[in-house]
Amino acid sequence: MTERLFATHTVRRRRELDGLWQVGVPGARPGEPDRRHRVLVPSVIESVPGLENFRGVARYERDLDAAGLLGAFEGEAFLHLVCKGVGHTAEVYVDGAHLAHHYNAYTAFDALTAHTPGTRTVRIDADNRFGPDSALHRENDYYSYGGLSRPVIAEIVPAAYIEHLHLTPFRQGGTWHLRVRVQLASAWARTGKGQGMSSTAEVTLVLDGHEVAVLTQADATGVPGRYERVLAVPGAQAYQLDAPHLSLMQALLHVDGQLVDDLIERFGFREVRVDGTRVLFNDEEIRFVGFNRHEDHPTFGCAIPLEAMAKDLLLLQDLGATSVRTSHYPNDERFLDLCDELGLLVWEEAHARGKEEERNPLFAAQSLAGLDEMVTQHHNHPAIFTWGILNEYESDTEYGRAIYEQMYARLRELDPSRPTTSATCWFPTDICLDLPDIVAINIYPLWYHEETVAEYVGGVLDFIDSSPGAGKPLIVSEIGAGAIYGNHDPRRAKWSEERQAEILTAQLEHLFTLPQLTGTYLWQFADCRVTDGWFAVRPRTMNNKGIVDEHRRPKLAYTAVRELFAQYRAQHGIAPTRAR
C-alpha cells in the first residue's frame, strides 16, 4: 500500500501502519463484553460483517516496533504519527498516554511523543456518532463512515523537522518563478520539553535533482519556523492539461551542519486566474465537463483502495470527463495525485453540505478548521484549480453570510493563488454572490422543478445577472436526475433509467448552448449511500443520481452523456483526458 504516488522522503524514517489492527467495539447489548475484530487499515468499520450500521466508538490498537523504525537514526528522536483520515472524531494514544484529538474524517492530523526504545502500543479511538459535538458529520445526503479510513504512518522525526513545504508557481516577465515556503516545527515545543528551534537551521532546496537554493535565517519570516523565498526558474517546464508535467522539490533540513530531515513535494508550473467571465489556466481559457464524485463504494465505504480509485478515473475518462468535483469534502491524496498525473481538473471542496436543521454553534469553527487543513495539506496539487466551500449552506441569510465572509477571508489569506467558489441553490434569495471569484449553481430542472430546462435555467441566469455575481465566471456545479439501476419502464416514470437518460439529455443539450458556461458537473458519478434520515426521498437509502450505480455498472444515461460530452469537447477543442 502506498500513501502517495511518489516518495515523500528519502531521509526521514517512516513506515505505513497498514495491515491488520485489533479493533474493539462495544457489545451489542449493555453489559456485554466488547466484540473484537482483526481489521485491515485503511478501511471503514462498516465493512466488518455485523457492523454495517455501526455508530459508536471503535478502538483500534496495534504494536509498533519503535527500535526497528529508529534504525540508525542518531540524535534526539520523536515518534510522529500521521493519520490521513479517521471517521469522524479521533483520540490518539501511545502507551496509554493521550496525544491527539481530531474532528473531521476528511483531513489529516498528527500526534507526537518522545521516542522510547522497544515496542509501543498505538491506540486510536474512532468515533462516528452524530450529536451536538459534530456539526459537519450528521444526517446527510451521503454517508459518514467510521474507522481508520485513510492511511496511518509512523515516523521518526528529530527535534526540528519539516512540517510542510508549499510551492506556488507564477510567471513574471515571461519567466516562471516559484514562491517556496518551508514551515519547520519544533518537537521540543510540541511535546513541552523545551522551546524554539536552533538558529543554525538551514534548508537546501533540490528541484528535480538540482540544488537551487539554501534558505537560512535571512529567509526567516515573522512566523516562527517559517522560511520563504521566491526563486526564478528559467526553463521550467510548464504543467499543461494536455501535457501534465510534474516537478519534484525536495527540502533538506540541516541543523548544526547535520542533515536531519527532508520532505519532497510534487507540483506543476501552472497559474490559474480569473479574467472577467473566464477562468484562465496558463493564460488559456478553460472549459470542462465532469462529475461530482463521492468517496463511496459498497465494498469499501469511503476507504476506497487505489485500484478502485483508478477504476473510477478510467470510467470518468471513458465518459469524456475533464474535471471532477470532490463533493463535499477534501479527497484522499492518492486520488488527487492520480488527477495531477492525468491533467484532470479538480474542484476541491471543504467539508460541509447543506443547511442545518438546527444551527449548531460549532459549525463555523469546525468548517474553518477543515478549510485550514485542506488548503495547507493539498496546496501543491496542480490539478486543483479552485477551492470550493459551504455547498448550499445559508448564503440566503445574514447569519450564513457572516460565516461565508469569515471562510472566504481565511481562504484568501491561506492561498491567494487559486480562485474560490461556492455552489448555491438559493435562487433568487442568495445574498453572497459578491464573495466567490466563480459563481456556481446547483440546478435540477425536470427533476425537482416542473418548468422546461430553458425556462428554469433562464430564471436562474436572470437572477445572477441582476446580482453581484454578474460578470464572474459561471459553473454549473450540479445538474442531474435519479434512476434505479435495472429499473426499466415504458411509462418512463421517474427513477427509471429511461427517464434519467431523457432528463440528462435535455439538461445537457440546453446547457451546452450557453456560451457563458466555464464548466458543467453532472450530479453524480456513482450512486452513493445516504443516512437513514433521508429514506423517504432516497429509495434504497441511496442517492440514485449516479450515471453508474454503486457497483459502477453503467445506467442507460451513460452512453447518452458520453456522446454529449464528446460533442461539447469537439465544439470547444478540449482533448479527452484519456487521449493525452
Least Å from the CB of residue 296 to ligand ADA: 12
- The residues with which 387 forms a beta bridge, in sequence order, are 348, 420
Interface residues with ligand ADA (CB under 6 A) are 141, 353, 391-392, 425, 442, 478, 523, 543, 545
Residues 6+ apart with CB under 8 A from 242: 343, 575, 580
Least Å from the CB of residue 545 to ligand ADA: 5
Q: How far is CA 560 from CA 94, 184, 199, in A?
A: 54, 52, 63
Comparing CA positions, the residue from 393, 307, 317, 308 lying closest to residue 350 is: 393
* Identity of the residue, 151 or 482, whose beta carbon is nearer to ligand ADA in the bound complex: 482
* Identity of the residue, 37 or 328, whose beta carbon is nearer to ligand ADA in the bound complex: 328
Least Å from the CB of residue 294 to ligand ADA: 8
Residue with cell 458519478: 525
Q: What are phi and psi of 93, to 5 degrees?
A: -130, 145
* Identity of the residue, 113 or 391, whose beta carbon is nearer to ligand ADA in the bound complex: 391
* Identity of the residue, 141 or 155, whose beta carbon is nearer to ligand ADA in the bound complex: 141
> Whose CB is nearest to ligand ADA?
141
* Identity of the residue, 531 or 543, whose beta carbon is nearer to ligand ADA in the bound complex: 543
* Identity of the residue, 125 or 296, whose beta carbon is nearer to ligand ADA in the bound complex: 296
**Pairing mode of beta strands 35-41, 19-25:** antiparallel
Residue with cell 471503535: 58
Residue type, 397: T
Cα 73 to Cα 12: distance, rounded to the nearest angstrom: 9
* Identity of the residue, 430 or 478, whose beta carbon is nearer to ligand ADA in the bound complex: 478
Cα 580 to Cα 575: distance, rounded to the nearest angstrom: 7
Cα 454-385-392 angle, rounded to 5 deg = 50
Least Å from the CB of residue 523 to ligand ADA: 5
Least Å from the CB of residue 546 to ligand ADA: 10
- The residues with which 519 forms a beta bridge, in sequence order, are 288, 475
Least Å from the CB of residue 442 to ligand ADA: 4
Residue with cell 464524485: 293
Least Å from the CB of residue 538 to ligand ADA: 8
Comparing CA positions, the residue from 446, 410, 335 lying closest to residue 84 is: 335
Least Å from the CB of residue 179 to ligand ADA: 34
Q: What are phi and psi of 429, to 5 degrees?
A: -105, -5
Cα pseudo-dihedral 16, 550, 457, 323, rounded to 10: 40
* Identity of the residue, 239 or 523, whose beta carbon is nearer to ligand ADA in the bound complex: 523
